[in-house]
Structure 1
Amino acid sequence: MTAEPQEIRKGRKYDQVLHGAREVFLGEGFEGASVDDIARAAGVSKATLYSYFPDKRLLFLEVARSECRRHADSAMAEIRTSGPPAEVLGRTARRKIAFYTSDFGLRMFRVFVAESARFPDIGRAFYKSGPEMGRAHLMDYLRQAVERGELEIADLALAADQFHELCRADLFYRAIFNVTQEFTPEECDRVADGAVATFLARYGT
């Protein structure tokens, strides 16, 4: 049984409920988050919360979708441009690295990895509204760059995935395993510049 097909009622306190749920889920995870805690954080009654989200999984999925949409919309401002690949990919890499190493980005990743084994629909919904959406946006830009003769790419999906992984080099893994909690701008630039240089060495014209 999946929570995805259910329609969500939106009203005056929808954003309030979502904000409170975001804070509790990121702090406690799905299993540790109680409806009482979410209602308290949102400043609403349990009856009001249930009127919007009768199922906790539905609320969790909506928090995920909302946050992923926000991040994707922000990233689109960088990717949807006719600028040269070195410039566009450089900005995209820095935005990706900033998100991957942020407290929010790391918490989101940990929560969804932890819950996706027990609730596969949660993992699938997160992938569709987050990584898959970002991949599609990057593929659109790469396709335009190929059409302009700026890149030579036969497999756009693979190229987008490779760029994504290049941006996760070193810093993300140190962050996710709590080896390092803060990174200097120079460290982030090193990974971003290396990602772009490696990508263009493979696909640049």
Structure 2
Amino acid sequence: MNQQASVLRTGRKFDQVLEGAREVFLADGFEGASVDNIAKAAGVSKATLYSYFPDKRVLFMEVVRSACVQQADASLELAPGTRRPREVLRAAAERVHGVLLGGFSLQLFRIFVAEADRFPELGPMFYESGPMTLHGEIQAYMEAAAARGELKIEDADLAAAQFIELCKADIFLRFLFKIDTEFTEAERERVISGAIDTFMARFGA
């Protein structure tokens, strides 16, 4: 990343630029976002924007970097040994839904898919800070629960991936392709309960 952007990553104006850029990039994508619109959304002049970021690509990378830091900081923190598996799995499922249906992560996902050829480094950055972190937390819980005899799991890595996919059943693709833009509590509960029941039928001790 441009050294100037790294050095000047502080201050109210800098935060305004990032927030405005994030808003425009999420709405218009990289190619559709204009520097004029970013400056307007940020409430700064183009000269101020360019003093932080000499070009749009550098600004886009900084928006992605900050979004990935935000994702990585949102730890699931599944407390081992304090709750029954169904309670822990419910907390994990609700977090998966929060990530999938919260809007921000999905918007980033769409941008990364669209810009995969232009920014090949973005996909791994997003995956490692979000989906991989969530997967790792669920996997660590499953390994600990299996060691305590609460679950019967030999491959916790695969089991964690399978549980996350169960949590996506029916609703994720509908949301991704904008067939539905929101889901009722009953619709989400149907998927979460089904995911937990299916998982426990296979892995319950």
User: Same fold judged by TM-score > 0.5?
Assistant: yes
In 2, Cα distance between equivalents of 1:93 and 1:187: 13
Instruction: Tell me the residue number matched to 1:102.
Output: 102
Q: Distance in 2 between matches of 1:4 and 1:160?
A: 38
Structure 2: gaps of 5 or more residues: none
Distance 1:188 1:11, change over 3 A: same
Identity of aligned residues (%): 52
Change (3 A) 1:55 1:80: farther
Superposed structure 1 runs of 4+ greater than 6 Å apart: 4-7
- 1:1-205 aligned at under 5 Å gives the runs 3=1, 8-9=6-7, 10-13=9-12, 14-77=14-77, 79-82=78-81, 83-205=83-205
AA matched with 2:6: I
CA offsets, 1:69-109, max 9 Å, x none?
434433424x3454222111102212221331233333222
- Relative contact order, higher structure (CA 8 A, sep 6+): 1
Structure 1 runs not aligned, ≥5 long: none
Q: Distance in 2 between matches of 1:4 and 1:143?
A: 41
Distance in 2, Cα, partners of 1:138 & 1:158: 11
CA distance in 2 between counterparts of 1:186 and 1:87 reads 18
Q: Tell me the CA shift for residue 7 of structure 1.
A: 7.0
Is the contact made by 2:4 and 2:52 (CA closer than 8 Å) also made in structure 1?
A: no
Secondary structure of the 1:170 match is: coil
Taking the aligned partners of 1:108 and 1:168, their CA distance within structure 2 comes to 17
Which AA in structure 1 matches 2:23?
Answer: E
Number of residue pairs aligned between Structure 1 and Structure 2:
202
Instruction: Give the 3 Å change call, closer, same or farther, for CA 70–81 of structure 1 in structure 2.
Output: farther
Structure of greater Rg? 2
